[in-house]
Amino acid sequence: MIRDATFPITLIVGGFALLAWNFGWIPDWNTLIALAFVIAGAAILVFDGLTKKSIVTGPVLISLGAAWYGYFELGWRSRLIIPLLMIFAGLMMLIARFAPLADSKQHGVLAPRERNDHTFK
């Protein structure tokens, strides 16, 4: 069983993005990829809640989408984008390491509730 929503959400968003592109709803391939990264990052934060993993994965995917769009549509240079993404990812990892967040999903919108099987006698 999959323990977090990262992979299923990425598949769903990617599938919708490909479908939208095939119907001509998205202007070009690079915009499609940038939107998929941003939507997947936001969805991970919503569905998994704030955990040590989602606080890194969500914002990094969102920043990757912004960087992708900036590179292909706005002419940003990779010599600037790549180091900035590396710095941002490292900062998010440090924040996750020291932040008082749960290791597993507990507060997400669709995060499963933990069962309490205690019986009272």
User: What does the pLDDT profile of the chain (121 residues) look like in tens digits?
Assistant: 556 777 888 888 888 878 887 887 777 788 888 988 999 999 998 888 888 888 899 999 999 999 999 999 899 999 999 999 999 999 999 998 888 877 766 555 555 555 555 554 4
In three-state secondary structure terms, 6 is helix
Alpha carbons 52 and 107: distance in angstroms, whole number: 12
The predicted pLDDT at position 105 comes to: 63
The predicted model scores a pTM of 0.68
Burial of 90 (0-12, 13-18, 19+ CB in 10 A): exposed
Report how far residue 41's alpha carbon sits from residue 93's, in angstroms, rounded to the nearest whole number. 15
The string over 50-84, giving b where at least 16 C-beta atoms fall within 10 Å of a residue's C-beta and e elsewhere, is bbbbbbbbbbbbbbbbbbbbbbeeeebeeeebeee
